[in-house]
Amino acid sequence: MSAEETHQASAEVAARVERRWATIAVIIVVMMALLAAFAGIHRATMPQPRVETIDPSRIHLSGEFVESNLGSVLEANGTVTVRAIGQQYSFTPACIVVPADTPITLRATSADVVHGILIQATNVNTMLVPGYISEQLMRFTRTGDYLMPCQEFCSFGHEGMWGKVKVIDKAEFADRAKGGGRLSCVGQ
């Protein structure tokens, strides 16, 4: 066997090993993508289905984000809708109250710059971009108090923009919702 042939043979071995590794790498990547898609459906964590727009400088005049409509409302079908806004440098309502073990839809927007809503110790995490409405599904299993900081730089008061979420018992929430109106835990 000449040196040239040895060279050729070893190059082929190298190429074979490489192909095997490339196949494994492709399988890893495909598996990850499939897992992500499965988890999205199974755990109901998908991006918001629609893009909705709104004029941030006029949200207080009409539409769903006027002051009297901000807060939590128990819908006829037993779910809860929370409407909130972020602005420099607070959330309104500053304390959001929701029931445990209930499907909740959070609808929120920004009145000025980019903010973000993050509820600590949960997967609730969305940007608030002025001009657009953010929607996120959430469900709490534990009652208690959660912190809700703004997670995007929104100018010099950003470090002071912390809201709260209070998760209360389902029956207690239903009781409080009887009076109608929009619930919050502001001032409690």
Partner 1 sequence: MLVNKKLILAHFWLAFAVFGIALTLGAWQMFIRSPIGTWLSNPELYYRSLTAHGTVMGYVFPTLVAMGFGYAISEAALQQRLVGVRWAWAGFWLIVAGSIMAVIPIALGRASVLYTFYPPLIGNVFYYLGVVLVVVGSWIWVALMSVNLRVWRKAHPGAPVPLAMFANVAGSYLWAWTAVGAALELLLQIIPVAAGLKNTIDAGLARVFFSWTLHAIVYFWLMPTYIAYYTIVPRAIGGRIYSDSMARISFILFLVVAMPIGMHHTFADPQVGAGFKFIHSAFTALVALPTLLTVFTICASVEIAARLRGGRGMFGWIRALPWDNPMMLALAFSFVMLGFGGAGGLINMSYQLDASIHNTQWITGHFHLIFGGAIVIMYFAIAFDLWPHLTGRELIDVRLIRTQLWLWFIGMIVTTFPWHWVGILGMPRRMAYFDFGDPAIAPQALSVTLSAIGGFILLASGIMFIVILARGMRAPQVDAGPYRFALAVHQPATVPVALNTHALWVALMIGLTLTNYGYPILNLALSSGTSVPAVYVGAQ
Partner 2 sequence: MSTRDLFTFRNGHFRIGVGITAAILIVTAIVGFIVLPFAQPWVQFADVWDAICSAAGVPQRAASVTAPEQAKRLSEVVLTSNTLARPSQEAIGRGATLAQRCAICHGPTGVSRADSPNLAGQYAAVIYKQLHDFRSGARTNAVMSPFAVNLTDQEIADLSNYYAYLPRLPAYHPTPQLPKPNIVIYGAPMRGIAPCGACHGSLDNKTGSPWLEGQSEAYMKAQLHAFASGERRNDISQQMRNIARAMTPQDIDAAAAYYASQPPDVVKAVD
User: Which residues would be at the binding site for partner 1 (CB under 8 A)?
Assistant: 7, 10-11, 14-15, 17-18, 21-22, 25-26, 28-30, 32-33, 35-37, 39-40, 43, 45-49, 51-53, 55-57, 88, 109, 112-114, 116, 118-135, 145, 147, 149-159
Question: Which lies closer to partner 2 via its Cβ, residue 70 or residue 167?
Answer: 70
Residue with tokens 């999205």: 40
Site string for partner 2, 16-45 (x = CB under 8 A): ---------------------x--xx--x-
Segment 83-102, which members bind partner 2 (CB under 8 A)? 85, 87-94
Query: Smallest distance, Å, CB 171 to partner 2?
Result: 24
DSSP string for 86-137: EETTEEESSEEEEESSS-EEEEEEESSS-EEEE-TTSS-EEEE-TTEEEEEE
The yes or no reply on residue 129 touching partner 2 (CB under 8 A) is no
In degrees and rounded to multiples of 5, residue 107 shows phi and psi of: -120, 125
The yes or no reply on residue 161 touching partner 2 (CB under 8 A) is yes
Task: Return the amino acid letter for 55.
Answer: D
What distances in angstroms separate CA 115 from CA 9, 86, 150, 151, 153, one per listed residue? 61, 6, 6, 7, 7
What distances in angstroms separate CA 61 from CA 6, 66, 89, 130, 172, one per listed residue? 82, 6, 20, 16, 32
The yes or no reply on residue 162 touching partner 2 (CB under 8 A) is yes
E strand or H helix at 80: strand 80-87
Query: Smallest distance, Å, CB 173 to partner 2?
Result: 18
Query: Smallest distance, Å, CB 6 to partner 2?
Result: 27
Query: Smallest distance, Å, CB 128 to partner 2?
Result: 13
E strand or H helix at 18: helix 3-42
Q: Which residues bind partner 2 (CB under 8 A)?
A: 37, 40-41, 44, 46, 49-54, 57-61, 63-70, 85, 87-94, 103, 111-112, 132-133, 137, 147, 155-164, 180-182, 186-187
